[in-house]
Amino acid sequence: MKIRSAAATATATDSPAPPHKAADHSLSAAAPRKRKRDRNPKKSKKGERIKPKKLGLRKWVWSSKDCSRFEDKFVVVSYNILGVENALKHPDLYGGVPPRFLEWERRRRLIRKEIKRYSPSILCFQEVDRFFDLAEVLKEDGFEGVYKARTGDACDGCAIFWKEEKFILLHQENIEFNQFDLRNNVAQFCILKMNVNHSSTDGNPHSSLSLPTRSIIVGNTHMLFNPNRGDIKLGQIRLFVERAYKLSKEWGDIPVVISGDFNSTPKSAIYQYLASSELNLLLHDRRRISGQVDCSSSCRTFTASTVNVNRSLTFRWNEEELYLAAGSTVDTHLYHKLRLSSAYAGVPGNFKTRDGDGEPLATSYHSKFMGTVDYIWHSKELVPVRVVETLPIDNLRKTGGLPSKKWGSDHLSLVCELAFSDDGTMT
């Protein structure tokens, strides 16, 4: 196995199976039960109904649009797996969690078991401080991967893995944000090309003339946590999306998938910047720009209306903060050129797990926080086919905090199947 760490690599492969935790539907012969009829049956390519697949307490949910014509698809997982050292340094976050649930060997088994149920092609991990342990077990599942450690004294970093059977690595690079005075966080990019035998062009020599090469840019990051330093968070995200856009142009306008722990909530100005491609800094308080402040226990996050901006008064940013956030002290209106959509917001969900905009109500839960900070974003050349639902808030609370008996991290994984949008017709 080849293992790359920033400039080196680890191994990978894909197993074409369905989703997540398969529930046990076996019924006792003595007391047979009638199966409940699916209220929203889906249909396969041949037209037969396919039942929703339950994944433990999580299940796949499908797009409301007809995606049956889309041939070239792949499953992406984004997962903050909780660094071993980070868990040891912050015992106050896991006071209600039995110590055995924090043991790395146990958590690694749970994480691997969970991931296999999704049959993913691409994995984006954050808080990785046992990369070689992960690489060894994921090698057995056919994955290859690259790792980028955070700079400074931190022990963790980010890792991207891909199924070697499905994708080939064409290029990789990293961003060290400390080179821009933006702390020790990092971001990584991989350009992956779909193997021919996993593309719809297989068996049709003429289709390659009309369809582009199946390559994608995968970006992975873990942004700064500090809720009060929105200037640094914005600076990191600005550089991240700018580089993703430039890479897409350099490689022929190929699609972009960016994921990770953004340490920003769905009602935040940072989320607004990613979703709308623009943000006026002077309309926002730097200390609240990520939405982490004022996040209530009911998981309702900070909103722009909470601020009640007086038009005659703009929030004070000093020159250093403006420069870190915008790269300029003059132009305080940020723009980015990627047209990004959130994968989860693009697939209808249940009110028990989603907010009004379609984002999960919670992707992370420990003693000091319950809310959403993790996302999978994609450019317009890709469409979400299905996602794995997160957990209802009530179910999360019953665990007493994550990790738990079933889940190996204090974050929930995000899982999305994406399709190339140019090989089918949405109806």
DSSP string computed for 109-147: HHHHHHHHHH--SEEEEEEES-HHHHHHHHHHTTEEEEE
**φ, ψ dihedrals at 406, nearest 5°:** -100, -25
What is this structure's pTM?
A: 0.82
* Coil vs helix vs strand at 402: coil
421 alpha-carbon distance from chain centroid: 20
Residue 293: per-residue pLDDT: 80
> Edge-to-edge strand order for the sheet containing 186-194?
167-176, 186-194, 215-222, 256-261, 374-379, 340-342
Residue 92, exposed/middle/buried by CB under 10 A (0-12, 13-18, 19+)? exposed
Q: Where are the alpha helices (DSSP H) in 42-196?
A: 84-89, 104-118, 131-140
Q: Considering only 24-28, 102-106, 200-204, which range has the smallest mean pLDDT?
A: 24-28
106: left (phi over 0), alpha (psi -120 to 50) or beta: alpha
CA distance 337 to 312: 30
Residue 314: per-residue pLDDT: 57
For the cut 60, the answer to whether the pLDDT of residue 375 exceeds it is: yes
* Coil vs helix vs strand at 17: coil
CA distance 106 to 283: 46
Residue 26: per-residue pLDDT: 30
Any idea what the Cα angle at residue 113 is, between residues 408 and 352, rounded to 5°?
Answer: 60
Report pLDDT digits (tens) over 177-203.
999 999 999 999 999 999 977 665 444
For the cut 60, the answer to whether the pLDDT of residue 209 exceeds it is: no
* Structural domains of the chain in order of their starting residue, each with its CATH number: 4-12+49-202+209-420 (3.60.10.10)
Q: What is the mean pLDDT of residues 369-380?
A: 98
